[in-house]
Amino acid sequence: MSKIRTAFFCQQCGYESAKWNGKCPSCGQWNTFVEERVQKDIPGKQQHDWKNNDGPNGRTQKIINLSEVITNEEKRLLTPDNELNRVLGGGIVAGSLVLVGGEPGIGKSTLFLQNALQLKNIKILYISGEESEQQIKMRADRIQNSNDQFYLLTETSTQTIFSEIKKLQPQLVIVDSIQTLHTPLIESAPGSVSQIRETTAELQRFAKESNIPVFLIGHITKDGSIAGPKVLEHMVDTVLQFEGDQHYAYRILRTIKNRFGSTAELGIYEMTGTGLRQVTNPSEILISQRDDLLSGVAIAATMEGLRPLLVEVQALVTQSVYGTPQRTATGFDLRRLQLLLAVLEKRGGFHFGVKDVFLNIAGGLRVEDPSIDLAVLCALLSSYEDTAIANKICFAGEVGLSGEIRAVNRIEQRIAEAEKLGFHKIFISRYNKKGIDLSKFNIEVIPVGRVEEVYQQLF
């Protein structure tokens, strides 16, 4: 009788140790090691394979020279959801393994259920380990869509799941969620590090050998990272992050990793009573429609991946009541805000050291593009002077430590987006003028080189 092997795993990062440790040597967390049975001896059962053969098509793999490999163009399955196609790099790649993470209740299950119901011409298997058939049916009725090729399976054992897959022969598999699955090869609780790693490995082998794409919906931890070992993200082909504020109707689908496309793409959705609606022109929803001119508001021409966006920056500068001035930023890096305040204090002579400063990116969006610096700076100056910036003016430029306005990438796309939305002027860095033809734009482009120039032209 073989001995069952056990090991200790860190529940935060998946680090494996032969003995218990108080502090994880990998991630530095305390009291996170749990003993788990690593391998369970099953007589007569071939382990580490989703089907009983030696490899794909029942043959043993052999070493091959790189020059002998025949490459074909990736076959992609286009979904009716253009936003999902964009973040996947142009559609679903056959045999790919895609991991989707997000906050509870953000809409992960709704997004993939409605996409599965819209794919009418392929056979889809939706595996749920968290909800019953009746709950999924209720959500499908709310989405108001149906598909005769859509099949449900409420099961958590991978042995049963692969048995049903062989009978149905689906063309797309969706697993909700990977943390609920368990394999009989590992004797530990579902959701543990070893179970997540082994079940994902089985699904990976299945996807590569059968050439069937698999979507894995995953939980996240309280710090926002995907639950389970970090190796989970290394094993899959694509990692998507579904994020958004529960108090806002808008959701953002970001690409964290993609072996078949760019990682700089994102899709924007609006949560409605009948599911998620694609937002084709996000700039219009991120800019509030107002009639009165208000101080402390500036419009930034930013880029999210390859998509130009115009977002509204709101700033409030008030006299500090307490000894230490407050600095609060929502949707913007607080350290970057402190840097811009220091630039205004040093290079412009504005006394922000005795002021409370509050900054907000409207619409619940979080922006990391440095080109938003100029709009943030102008919003701060507008609130400081209590003077509104004229309508139909936007900004695109990075601010350096010496007060210079630095050039940003894809400036022509930003100008074109501002012109499309009816803006009359756009402030850019004078270093961006080189190599672009301003005569093809109907919008007035104002090049600036220093913070002082911006202040003189606006106020």
Residues flagged as binding site for ATP: 102-109
Query: What contacts 290, CB < 8 A, 6 or more positions away?
Result: none
Query: What contacts 26, CB < 8 A, 6 or more positions away?
Result: 10, 13, 15
For the chain, the straight-line distance linking the first and the last C-alpha, in angstroms and rounded, comes to: 84
State the amino acid at position 280 in one-letter form.
Answer: T
Q: Are 285 and 244 in contact (CB under 8 A)?
A: no
Q: How far is CA 38 from the centre of its chain?
A: 32
Q: Are 382 and 315 in contact (CB under 8 A)?
A: yes
Q: Are 293 and 391 in contact (CB under 8 A)?
A: yes
In the three-class reduction of DSSP (H, G, I as helix; E, B as strand; rest coil), residue 124 is classed as strand
Q: Are 219 and 242 in contact (CB under 8 A)?
A: no
The residue among 211, 1, 2, 19 whose CA lies nearest residue 10 is 19
Q: Are 217 and 174 in contact (CB under 8 A)?
A: yes
The residue among 229, 186, 227, 181 whose CA lies nearest residue 206 is 181
Binding-site residues: 102-109
The residue among 289, 256, 284, 255 whose CA lies nearest residue 270 is 284
Phi/psi at 304 (5° precision): -115, 100
Q: Where are the beta strands (DSSP E) in 229-320?
A: 238-243, 250-258, 266-272, 275-278, 297-304, 307-319
Which secondary-structure segment (H or E) carries 205? helix 193-210
In the three-class reduction of DSSP (H, G, I as helix; E, B as strand; rest coil), residue 120 is classed as coil
Rounded Cα–Cα distance for residues 209 and 58 (Å):
10
Rounded Cα–Cα distance for residues 6 and 395 (Å):
59
DSSP state of 389: P
Token couple for 135: 């709950």
Q: Are 301 and 277 in contact (CB under 8 A)?
A: no
Measured CA angle at 236 (ends 246, 60), to 5 deg: 155
